[in-house]
Amino acid sequence: MMHVTPCLPALHAIAPSPALPQRVLLLENSRAYVQAIAEAIEQQLELPVVVASTLAEARALLDRYDDWFLALTGLVVADGDREAVIDCFLERDIPTVVVTGVYDEELRARMLRRRVIDVVLKSTPGSLDYIVWLVKRLERNRRISALIVDDSASARLHTAALLETFGYRVVEAVDGASALRALEADPSIRLAIVDQEMPGMQGVELTRRLRALRARDRVAVIGISGNSDATLVARFLKSGANDFLRKPYSREEFFCRVSQNVDQLELIGTLQDLATRDFLTGLPNRRHFLDQAERMVQRTMADPQPLTMAILDIDHFKRINDGWGHEAGDHALRAVAAALSLHARTDDVVARFGGEEFCVLAPGLDPEAQTTYFEQLRQRIEDLRVDTANGTLQMTVSIGVRHARAGDDLHRLLADADRRLYLAKARGRNRVVSTG
């Protein structure tokens, strides 16, 4: 699609997944434009870009590597016409975006019919930003499943083809009941395209039930219908849909609506991370820990199960900052956070509680298992070797542990774990205290 005034979402860094192809091939004969695109993609997205200026070079590169994620290509090369350029990539099933310097509606339509992802006009203001956004959107889409709910096989086939062109993994459902089962079974579903006219359960009702399973910040729902009922849009939105598309819709409108809704989900996720995660270590912060721990304690007291609260503190942390420098102190905090993350089990709640102090709330540990668990954590941290500008740093931690009893609340667990931490410090540090 030709973009004249693209509306761009905020860009947020995301680490590429090593399990997926990452290499981008850029075929273009303008050196200045090649340099600008390659630098932007490599610096902002951390994806490797390989450049070719002729079709022969592009073919040689395609034969040399097998981890191609995307091709960005111009159509003017010395050794091939437009069709040969496109054939070069599509015959190898490589997702392809055309970048052209001339607006040509017939060319645009022909390219899109051939399953080219997009046609971008070079001279459009903001085209470089749009290309970077598009590449990032396509790269992220590969980790997202999209659910199509429609009783029409031909409609599902059409929508699935569009979503697969944009890189999404597709899950299909023929009715509302199977859609809800699919949603419960697949946590990677972040997008649902829901048709209104279905037997048994119409789209509005399915959207209402879907929202009971997944909130707006987890799954974006787009209602679709060919019905001319003017109230349908409002009914979908009031039932929890994020957006609505009326059939027939263009490929460009579909892509823009889907992308904007998925971008919004990611933006919400980023804001939630900023509010709930510690910036330095990446662990949940004190606020998030208290919220999650309160819920876990209430559940445990209602249905008694073993539960253990622990507070750990880096020994002599002020000496690390004063003697090694604050940068070394930051390295120490990150190393302890990483060790804690590796040690924690799936159901454990962990956090940086403040300064050099960390918290763990661990369910399911009897007293003997509790002692082993936290002693192994203490040893794991003692074994760390942290490289800094001033040499290799080693550290220890003291840990105070409190096993939950009937009638406990979160405040009591934290206070008693903190008293045991004080005893661990008083008894010489680098130890676990769970009594007294």
DSSP readout, 128-190? HHHHHHHHHHHHHHTT-EEEEE-S-HHHHHHHHHHHHHTT-EEEEESSHHHHHHHHHH-TTEE
Domain span holding position 401: 286-433
**120 and 224 share one domain:** no
DSSP-assigned letter for residue 20: S
For residues 24 and 69, the answer to whether their CB atoms sit within 8 Å is yes
**153 and 134 share one domain:** no
For residues 49 and 38, the answer to whether their CB atoms sit within 8 Å is yes
- Alpha carbon distance 222, 243 (integer Å): 5
Domain membership flag for residue 12: no
> What DSSP letter does each residue of 336-367 carry, written as one string?
HHHHHHHH--TT-EEEEEETTEEEEEEES--H
DSSP-assigned letter for residue 122: T
Domain membership flag for residue 18: no
Is-above-0.75 flag for pTM?
A: no
Domain membership flag for residue 281: no
Domain membership flag for residue 7: no
**What's the total number of domains in the chain?**
3
**108 and 150 share one domain:** no
Domain boundary among 241, 275, 309: 275
**71 and 156 share one domain:** no
Domain membership flag for residue 34: yes
Domain membership flag for residue 10: no
- Alpha carbon distance 221, 146 (integer Å): 10
Domain boundary among 252, 275, 298: 275
Question: To 5 degrees, how large is the angle CA 247–CA 251–CA 256?
Answer: 100
**232 and 352 share one domain:** no
**401 and 427 share one domain:** yes
**226 and 164 share one domain:** yes
Q: What is the pLDDT along the chain (436 residues), one digit of tens a residue?
A: 333 333 333 333 334 444 688 999 999 988 888 899 999 999 999 999 999 999 999 999 999 999 999 999 999 888 989 899 999 999 999 999 999 888 788 888 888 888 899 999 887 788 999 999 999 999 999 999 999 999 999 999 999 999 999 999 999 999 999 999 999 999 889 999 999 999 999 999 999 999 999 988 889 999 999 998 889 999 999 999 999 999 999 888 999 999 999 999 988 887 777 778 888 998 999 989 999 999 999 888 887 789 999 999 999 999 999 999 999 999 999 999 999 999 999 999 999 999 999 999 999 999 889 999 999 999 999 999 999 888 999 999 999 999 998 889 999 999 999 999 999 999 999 999 997 5
List beta partners, residue 246: 225
**311 and 398 share one domain:** yes
CATH number at 249 reads 3.40.50.2300
**399 and 341 share one domain:** yes
- Alpha carbon distance 294, 94 (integer Å): 49
**63 and 120 share one domain:** yes
Question: To 5 degrees, how large is the angle CA 142–CA 146–CA 152?
Answer: 135
Q: Of 311, 356, 351, 353, which is closest to residue 330 (Cα–Cα)?
A: 356
Domain membership flag for residue 232: yes
**82 and 174 share one domain:** no
Domain boundary among 97, 120, 140: 140
**291 and 426 share one domain:** yes
